[in-house]
Amino acid sequence: MMDSPIFGRLTFDDIAPLAVFRNFSLNELVASGAGWLEVFAAVGVVAALTYFRLWGPLWREWLTSQDHKKIGIMYMVLGFVMMARGVAEGVIMRGHLATALDGGILAPEHFAELFSTHGTIMIFFVAMPFITGFMNFLIPLQIGSRDMAFPLMNQISLGMTAAGAMLLLVSLVVGQFETGGWAAYPPFTGAAFQPGVGPDYWIWAIVVSGFGSMLSGINFAVTIYKMRAPGMTYMRMPVFCWTALCTAILLAFAMPPLTVAALMQALDRYLDFHFFTNDLGGNMMNYANLFWMFGHPEVYILILPAYGIYSELTATYSAKTLYGYTSLVLATMCIAVMSFTVWVHHFFTMGNSATVNVAFGIATMLIAIPTGVKMYVWLATLYRGRIRMTVPMIYLGGFMVLFVLGGLSGIILANPTINYQVHNTQFIVAHFHNVILPGVVFATLAGIHMWFPKAFGYRLEEGPARLSAILWIVGFSATFLPLYVVGLLGYPRRSASYTDPVFEPYMIFTALGSLLILAAFATFAWVFWVSWRNRAALAVPLGDPWDGRTLEWATPAPVPEYNFAVIPVIGTREPFAVEKASGRPYVRPDEYEDIRLPAPSGVGFVLCVCAGVFGFAMTWWIWWLAAISLVAIPTVLVVRSFFPDRMVTIPADEVRRDTEAWLRAIDAASGVDRGEELTSANRGFARTDLKEAA
């Protein structure tokens, strides 16, 4: 190795977009084209920010903000940016497979890289930011708090996640990503078989963002434990907060196995240790064990908040108290604990005894029971509810049918003997897309439709959003349901080509299906655009467009930085709904006090840069840079700890002025019936006919 002391193993030849000029082929064109696209997109964003003079506002109001709502929104934006790449990669892979009878348009190596980045991006940098974004935005609002327990740490978590995402994006342009799938199993990703930078990109993206996720978990857990408004007992918390609490605990305790696995892999690759190697006592099954000890709780980290979102929207859009709150809470807790007892079902075929497999198979089947409980809870809530078929309810409908299907295929897979037959086939691909897409992605999109007005003060256009929802449901079904059949026919997952022509029609069909998903994604982006243009007619400044039930709807939209002019005192489970039913829904404070909030801080951004640079330098063996950026992280924190926390005070008069203006507007408003909530008559003041009391 001729490594430069300054650039490590980074050379000019590693700039991927230039490869197409050296060696022209369709494969290179796709790879380099993606790189060019990303470079142009980055340049375009920089240019647009400069042209519209947005750097200042971006820095002052967003990047340095410690406001949980803004951090939540930034997580969502990060998720969408990464999702654009993930969806595009999915479509390219499907396009390749449609032509892959005895070949295909891409090189096998390139295909392997695509499914690795696609999986890594979709799990760690799309689904995780989405659920973290929701938890950030909603938890303090729903429990009646001004902010998270640790606002600065919240900012740092976002920075870590963003740094990991940046490493993924950079890997498209500089060097290449690994080819061992999102789980990056050694020894295939070990130094002996993949000496390049690919697995190192994976390691540092995972380690850096994993730390961020663990810190998020601690933050959410402490916020829910310690920051609830007076009177909000555990059993009065909104269901979303319950699911968020369980997720937070999972984040704090399930991220360590992943970090440990990735760090051991790093020791193997960098220092020639023997954790997972083939020789000298290494055992690759230790990796599988550690990875899935994280991987299975991870599934529930993603799905539990989605359950929370579905619970909230079911109750809201059927205008009914959630049926079976207690059983839902108990089911959530059961799932959280049981999710730590099933991980072996991801590697039943490792070669252990039937006793082990049966134990984990039974545990896997048991965990379906609390999940089933939830399904019945939602059905019972819908039953005799006054349902409006709005966009979130369309997603809910798609979710209910498709998710049950995915769950049933999970039960099939829980049986080790059947699992042996379909292990590593497209059946698995069908199964996990079947649970994650309708489960997590649909919940995210439905939740965005529901809470977007709360965050930005205007609703999303209903028409295009309905189109997008239907495209998602149809596109998903067309793309992934056929893969069950393909898997049963014996088509292995992750194989770049096939020789049996029987697969070809299925592959062409699913490729067309993936175009529908692309259309659904594009339509969703378009929804934001048309809604923004039409924001005056869609505005709901009074804050309660859907006749909501929980605390966050009792605030103006967009929510002021301090969330609540005064911290509410809670006496029931659905305080806002109950108070609306009794006719006195909004708090009219007698006196106001100054509100102190943490001042903007650049620490999160600085650590984001340090962590990102560290990951990049480690990946490329630029040791001096890695050392500097690694030492910089604790140094920044220690130096900062010598200075007092800067706070901003919002004077009582300002709070009074804004709150009273809002309350006057509510008094003047005539209120909107549920039947008219999709018209421009909806200004966010619901004329409720809720009678029941929780």
Q: Does 50 bind another protein (CB under 8 A)?
A: no
Binding mask 448-487 for another protein (x = CB under 8 A): ----------------------------------------
- Cα separation, 221 vs 241, in Å, equals 10
- Cα separation, 430 vs 479, in Å, equals 9
- Cα separation, 683 vs 666, in Å, equals 9
Interface residue with another protein among 22, 226, 384, 691 (CB under 8 A) is 226
Kindly tell me which of 235 and 408 has the beta carbon lying closer to another protein: 235
Q: Does 575 bind another protein (CB under 8 A)?
A: yes
Class of residue 641 by CB neighbours under 10 A (exposed 0-12, middle 13-18, buried 19+): exposed
| CB of 71 closer than 8 Å to CB of 65 | yes
Q: Does 150 bind another protein (CB under 8 A)?
A: yes
- Cα separation, 260 vs 263, in Å, equals 5
Smallest gap from residue 343 Cβ to another protein (A): 8
Stretch that binds another protein, among 131-139, 263-271, 298-306, 419-427 (CB under 8 A): 263-271
Residues in contact with another protein, total (CB under 8 A)? 77
Smallest gap from residue 89 Cβ to another protein (A): 32
| C-alpha torsion sign, points 67, 69, 75, 77 | negative
DSSP string covering 379-398, please?
Answer: HHHHTT------HHHHHHHH
Instruction: Kindly list the distances between the CA atom of residue 489 and the CA atoms of 119, 344, 432, 502, 586, in Å, as whole numbers in the listed order.
Output: 23, 25, 18, 9, 60
Kindly tell me which of 146 and 454 has the beta carbon lying closer to another protein: 146
Region of 454 on the Ramachandran plot (φ > 0 left; ψ -120 to 50 alpha; else beta): alpha
Smallest gap from residue 429 Cβ to another protein (A): 25
Interface residue with another protein among 1, 2, 6, 271 (CB under 8 A) is 271
User: Of the candidates 229, 250, 383, which has an alpha carbon nearest to the alpha carbon of residue 307?
Assistant: 250
Pairing state of beta strands 595-598 and 647-650? antiparallel
Kindly tell me which of 197 and 214 has the beta carbon lying closer to another protein: 214
Q: Does 267 bind another protein (CB under 8 A)?
A: yes
Q: Does 650 bind another protein (CB under 8 A)?
A: no
Q: Binders of another protein among 195-214, rule CB under 8 A?
A: 214
Q: Does 255 bind another protein (CB under 8 A)?
A: yes
Smallest gap from residue 206 Cβ to another protein (A): 15
Q: Does 648 bind another protein (CB under 8 A)?
A: no
Q: Does 326 bind another protein (CB under 8 A)?
A: no
Query: If you ran DSSP here, which 8-state letter would residue 572 be given?
Result: S
Q: Binders of another protein among 332-361, rule CB under 8 A?
A: 337, 340-341, 343-344, 350-353, 355-356
Scan for tokens 């495209």, then name that residue. 471
Stretch that binds another protein, among 396-404, 513-521, 523-531, 584-592 (CB under 8 A): 584-592
Stretch that binds another protein, among 116-124, 195-203, 224-232, 406-414 (CB under 8 A): 224-232
Q: Does 188 bind another protein (CB under 8 A)?
A: no
- Cα separation, 123 vs 126, in Å, equals 6
| CB of 257 closer than 8 Å to CB of 290 | yes
Q: Does 25 bind another protein (CB under 8 A)?
A: no
Query: If you ran DSSP here, which 8-state letter would residue 350 be given?
Result: G
Q: Does 632 bind another protein (CB under 8 A)?
A: no
Interface residue with another protein among 45, 58, 285, 502 (CB under 8 A) is 285
Q: Does 369 bind another protein (CB under 8 A)?
A: no
Interface residue with another protein among 24, 40, 193, 225 (CB under 8 A) is 225
Instruction: Supply 693's token pair.
Output: 């009391």
Q: Does 253 bind another protein (CB under 8 A)?
A: yes
Q: Binders of another protein among 533-572, rule CB under 8 A?
A: 566-569, 571-572
Q: Does 593 bind another protein (CB under 8 A)?
A: yes
Per-residue 3-state assignment (H helix, E strand, C coil) for 295-317? HHHHHHHHHHHHHHHHHHHHHHH
Interface residue with another protein among 533, 588, 640, 657 (CB under 8 A) is 588
Residues 6+ apart with CB under 8 A from 263: 203, 207
User: Of the candidates 301, 288, 18, 367, which has an alpha carbon nearest to the alpha carbon of residue 132?
Assistant: 301
Q: Does 582 bind another protein (CB under 8 A)?
A: yes
Q: Does 368 bind another protein (CB under 8 A)?
A: no
Q: Does 59 bind another protein (CB under 8 A)?
A: no
Smallest gap from residue 242 Cβ to another protein (A): 16
Interface residue with another protein among 32, 157, 216, 219 (CB under 8 A) is 219
Q: Does 623 bind another protein (CB under 8 A)?
A: no
| CB of 261 closer than 8 Å to CB of 254 | no
Q: Which residues of 204-236 are buried (b: 16+ CB within 10 A; e: fewer)?
A: bbbbbbbbbbbbbbbbbbbbbeebbbeebeeeb
Interface residue with another protein among 107, 222, 404, 508 (CB under 8 A) is 222
Instruction: Supply 118's token pair.
Output: 């696609």
Smallest gap from residue 551 Cβ to another protein (A): 10
> In sequence order, what are the beta bridge partners of 596?
649
Q: Does 670 bind another protein (CB under 8 A)?
A: no
